[in-house]
Amino acid sequence: MRKAGLTLLVAAALAAIALLTMAGSLGDPVRWTPDGLFYQARSLELQGTDRDVALERVFQGPLGAELRRIDPDRSGDPDWVAYNAKFYERRITVPAAAAALEPVAGERAVLDISVAGYVAAILAIFALLLLRFRLPIAAAVTLATIALPALRYHSSFPLTDSWGVALQTAAFVCGLFALERGRRWLLPWVAAIVLLSFTRDSVWIPIIAALGVTLNLRSKDSLLLLGSAFAAALPALLIFSLPLQDLLATMLNGIQPSADTSWAFIADRYPGAFVDLLQAEGGHVRDGAWYSAAFLLCGLALLFLLGWGKRRTAATTFLQAGALAGIAYILVVPIFSAFRLELVCVPMAAYGLALGAEWASERFPKLAWARTPALPAARQR
């Protein structure tokens, strides 16, 4: 009971720190982006406003005034808005929550939901780390995650990314519980997958992670995990189709609708876009984004370098497969996003950093307080 109480106290402190780092976003005017305006329009649509009317009210009204001024060829073009709206139809979780909150929060509802998602993501990462590591390591790495500029920055806009990280991490937690503590955890695993499928297209990351752990363990529980994940993601795919070719062609055409959406056009544009991405990311790091880059690169490297031998568990297998899926997700559309797309790798990177802290504690006697006891034989993978 004393240990549980201390853990809850630390979790509350971490949540409070995370919320304090977002105090400016809660007090300052909402900074609207094209994505944010699409979510605002979707929220109005879920409240009963006609789709075209909602888009016009948001993009052509006061909320979109600044974007129309600085981005007339996209946000200021009704045809561009109408064409791109289809790419946001499936993402209804955050707009639906904002619609429910709108009577209290008004036009800030989507932003408030985004900030809540940031706190939820921090707590989910803390829970993920506690599955394997002692409280000091879990708390220290979670604090490092709170300090992650990319996650905090993108969560300060009316977007869905923070909830994408939170739900993806929750899926990993529930999936690991289902593998190691019983099939009763399949229900929350399915719930996390369903919610993620209506929030972000990154739903495939935990599903591919489940495939990776299934190929490794070849157990009935892992097969149930994989099968239930596919079933959970299916409703979103059936209700809302995602025109993948149109999306890729648009992204590779300067985020403008392309008359040619063929795979040949996409393949022709992809190499140049990939080179541009590497150059832009390099410039972003040189301009000050070194911490976000170091967090992600070092964390993922440690996950693969140290996630073997006695540290090889269902968790490391699950998260390594998820990391590979996350990297593939980023590379599918090689567009500079200021580490926004890379946020899908934050849970896996955090776990890798915790492995690094554990490794360090084994080699320096003064860090004995942070060492994690050897895992029971039944949990070795």
Question: Over the chain (381 residues), what is each successive 10-residue block's mean pLDDT?
Answer: 84 96 88 96 95 95 93 92 93 96 93 97 97 94 96 96 98 94 92 96 95 89 93 93 87 89 92 92 91 96 88 88 96 91 97 94 68 44 37
Determine the Cα–Cα distance for residues 164 and 94; give it in Å rounded to an integer. Answer: 10
Confidence at residue 373, expressed as pLDDT on a 0 to 100 scale: 54
Contact between 334 and 270 (Cβ < 8 Å) = yes
Report CA-CA distances (Å) from 85 to 82, 283, 285: 5, 31, 32
Which tokens go with 76? 């200021």
What stretch of H or E contains 338? none
Backbone angles phi, psi at 181, to 5 degrees: -130, 5
Single-letter amino acid code for the residue at 293: A
Matching residue, tokens 């948001």:
58
Q: How far apart are the first and last CA of the chain?
A: 30
Which tokens go with 66? 């600044």
Backbone angles phi, psi at 333, to 5 degrees: -120, 95
Single-letter amino acid code for the residue at 69: R
Q: Which of 123, 138, 127, 122 is CA-nearest to residue 355?
A: 138
Confidence at residue 259, expressed as pLDDT on a 0 to 100 scale: 87
Supply the pTM of this predicted model. 0.92
Residue 312, CA atoms < 13 Å, CB-side half-sphere: 8
Confidence at residue 1, expressed as pLDDT on a 0 to 100 scale: 63
Contact between 26 and 112 (Cβ < 8 Å) = yes
Query: Rg for the chain (alpha carbons), in Å?
Result: 21
Determine the Cα–Cα distance for residues 121 and 127; give it in Å rounded to an integer. Answer: 10
Contact between 209 and 321 (Cβ < 8 Å) = yes
Determine the Cα–Cα distance for residues 181 and 165; give it in Å rounded to an integer. Answer: 23
Q: Which of 295, 292, 275, 286 is CA-nearest to residue 336?
A: 275
Q: Which of 155, 210, 162 is CA-nearest to residue 186?
A: 210
Confidence at residue 371, expressed as pLDDT on a 0 to 100 scale: 57
